Amino acid sequence: MSRLHIRVARSLIKHVVLLVAAVLVVESSVAADRPNILLIVSDDQRPDTIAALGNDVIRTPNLDRLVREGTAFTRATCGNPICTPSRAEILSGCSSFRSGVIDFGKPIDPQLPLMARWFADAGYRTSYVGKWHNDGVPTERGYSQTNGLYRGGGGKWYKPQVDWAGRPVTGYRGWIFQSDDGTLYPERGVGLTSDISEKFADAAIELLAQPTDKPFFVHVNFTAPHDPLMIHPKFSDMYDAAKMPLPRNFAARHPFDHGNFNGRDEQLFAWPRTPEETRGELAAYYAVISHMDAQIGRVLKALHDGGQLENTIIVFSSDHGLAVGSHGLRGKQSMYEHTIGVPLIMRGPGISKGARLATQCYLRDLFPTLCDLAGIDGPGDRIDGRSLQPALRGEKEQIHPFVVGYFRTFQRMIRYDGWKYIEYPAVDRIQLFHLSEDPDELHDLSDAPQQARTRIGMATTLHRWMKDNGDPLSGRQ
C-alpha cells in the first residue's frame, strides 16, 4: 500500500470514528431527555384495595395520591392468575401461550424481546428490586443491576414460622435476600418478615440515589400482600377484625371444584369458610397493604427530594388479585373479578391527573405502553401487548375488543360488552355473568334460555382466540 493510500485510509478511519462518536453523543443526549420509569408491582393484591378507588375501609394514602395525580385503569386484568406466568407476561409483553410460561417452573422463550433489555438498549439504566419468580436472574434478563433481590435458595437457614393467626407457614419458605453474584444474606431474614416491605423500599431508594447520566428504569417488586401475612407491629391495630365487612360475594363454599381445591392457597382456610376467619384474614391483609403503601410513600419522597418526581413515569400494579373469602375461595386461581382483575395506576409526564378509564387491558400491555410514554420504538407484533397510549390520550376507549383469562387446563374466560363467560373443562361446567348488572358475579345466567345467544357467541369468540393463540385446550371443547 502506498503512503497516499495509507494517509487516505487513516483519514477515513478518523472520520468514521468521529461520526460514530457524534452519533453516540446524540443518542446519549436523546436518552438523557427521556423520562425515568418506576414500575412497582405488588403480589396478590385485589383490585378493590385502594381507598381512592372506592374502598371505604382500607387506608392507602400514597396509592390514593397516585390515583389523584395520575390515571387509573379500572378494568385491568392479569391474564393468568398465578405469580410466575403473570410476571412473565409483564417481562415479555406476551400471553402465557406465546411466552411459554403457562405455569410454575417454565422458562420464558429466549427468542422474545424482554422489557428491561429493550429499555437498556434504548439507553436506560435498568435496575431490579425485590421478588424474582421467573427463570434465570434479573441480570440475565436485561437488568444491569439488582438491589434487595429476593428469591429462593436459603432453605438451610429456614426455621419454621407461623403467620398472624398462628398457622404454619407454607409460602416463601427458604426465600432469601441475595446479590447479583449469588451471595446470600440470611442475616436479613429467611422467609417473609413483617418489615420486608421496608427492606424493598430501602433498596429502591438506594438505587434512585445513584448518580447517572442515563434515565433510569427501576422495577420494584414487593411480596405484600402475599401470604404468609406478617403484620408489622406499628400496623397491628390498624384494622379491627370484628368490624371488617365481608366481601359482598362471600360464601362458605364454592359450588364446585374450580380446579384448585387441593392447592396450597385453598388449604389456608378451613372448610367451610367462616365469617370470623375471613374477617381476621382481611384485617391482616389490609394491614400488610397499608404497610407497603407507607413504603411506597418513602420511595415517592425520595424521588421528590432528588428532583426526579416530575420527570418520572410511575406505574403501580399487582401480578393478580385474590379471593380472601369471595365465592368461597381463599386463593388466586380463578377467573372472578377479584382475582383476574388488578389495580393499575399510571402517573407522570403526559398522563392525565385524576382520570379513571374503563378500558379493558392486560398487564402485558405495560411493555409497549411504557415504550410509547418514553418515546422509544416498541417491539411491535413481536409481542401480544398493545400500547394504552391512545386510551391515555383520550383518542380511543377500546384497545382490546375483549380480554381472555386462563388457568392451567382448568379454566378459560372471556369478558366483553359487560358480560363474562367462564369454562371449566375438567368438570364440564360453564358460568355466565352480566357484569354490568352483577359486578359481584353472584347470578350465574348460563342456564337462562334468554341468554343462549350471548353464551354461544362468547364461547365461539373464546374458542377462536384459543385456537389463534396456540392454547393446548383448543379443539377439545
Query: Using CA atoms, how far apart are residues 258 and 265, in angstroms rounded to an integer?
Result: 13
Among 397, 430, 457, the domain boundary falls at 397
Q: Is residue 474 part of a domain?
A: no
What pLDDT does residue 18 have?
44
What number of other Cβ atoms are within 10 A of residue 17's Cβ?
10
Residues 190 and 75 in one domain: yes
174 close to 190: Cβ distance less than 8 angstroms: yes
Asked if residue 245 has pLDDT above 50, the reply is: yes
Query: CATH number for the domain including 84?
Result: 3.40.720.10
What pLDDT does residue 10 have?
61
Residues 382 and 463 in one domain: no
Asked if residue 55 has pLDDT above 50, the reply is: yes
Asked if residue 8 has pLDDT above 90, the reply is: no
Query: CATH number for the domain including 440?
Result: 3.30.1120.10
Which segment of 22-31, 36-45, 366-375 scores lowest on mean pLDDT?
22-31
When divided into structural domains, the chain yields a total of: 2
Asked if residue 439 has pLDDT above 70, the reply is: yes
Tens of pLDDT, residue by residue over 390-438, are 999 999 999 999 999 999 999 999 999 999 999 999 999 999 999 999 9
Q: Domain of residue 345: give its range.
A: 33-397
Q: Is residue 234 part of a domain?
A: yes
Residues 154 and 243 in one domain: yes
What pLDDT does residue 475 have?
73
What pLDDT does residue 30 have?
54
Residues 358 and 464 in one domain: no
Among 372, 397, 422, the domain boundary falls at 397
Q: Is residue 262 part of a domain?
A: yes
Tens of pLDDT, residue by residue over 328-347, are 999 999 999 999 999 999 99
Residues 348 and 438 in one domain: no
- Name, in order, each residue with C-beta under 8 angstroms of 13's C-beta and a sequence gap of 6 or more: none
User: What phi and psi values does residue 115 have, to the nearest 5 degrees?
Assistant: -60, -50
Q: Is residue 127 part of a domain?
A: yes
Q: Is residue 23 part of a domain?
A: no
What pLDDT does residue 6 have?
52
What pLDDT does residue 33 have?
87
The size of the chain, in residues, is 477
Residues 336 and 443 in one domain: no
What's the whole-number mean pLDDT along residues 61-78? Answer: 98
Residues 335 and 456 in one domain: no
Residues 390 and 415 in one domain: no
What pLDDT does residue 24 have?
42
Residues 220 and 190 in one domain: yes
What residue type is assigned to position 275 of the chain?
Answer: P
Q: Is residue 18 part of a domain?
A: no
Asked if residue 210 has pLDDT above 50, the reply is: yes
For residue 192, what is the DSSP state? -
What is the torsional sign of CA 232, 72, 131, 329?
positive
Asked if residue 22 has pLDDT above 90, the reply is: no
Percent of the chain with pLDDT over 70: 93
Tens of pLDDT, residue by residue over 282-329, are 999 999 999 999 999 999 999 999 999 999 999 999 999 999 999 999
SS3 419: strand
Tens of pLDDT, residue by residue over 137-187, are 999 999 999 999 999 999 999 999 999 999 999 999 999 999 999 999 999
Confidence tier at 12 by pLDDT (50, 70, 90): low
What pLDDT does residue 329 have?
98
Q: Is 188 left (phi over 0), alpha (psi -120 to 50) or beta?
A: alpha
User: What phi and psi values does residue 400 have, to the nearest 5 degrees?
Assistant: -115, 135
Q: Is residue 245 part of a domain?
A: yes
Residues 158 and 239 in one domain: yes
What pLDDT does residue 23 have?
39
What pLDDT does residue 27 have?
44
Residues 159 and 297 in one domain: yes
Q: Which contacts qualify for 154-161: CB closer than 8 Å, 24 or more apart?
A: 154/178, 154/184, 154/186, 154/190, 157/184, 157/186, 157/190, 158/190, 158/191, 159/190, 161/191, 161/192, 161/228
Among 397, 426, 453, the domain boundary falls at 397
Indicate the helix (H) or strand (E) that contains 71: strand 71-73
What number of other Cβ atoms are within 10 A of residue 131's Cβ?
26
Residues 347 and 448 in one domain: no
Q: Is residue 266 part of a domain?
A: yes
Percent of the chain with pLDDT over 90: 92
- Provide the mean pLDDT of the chain: 94
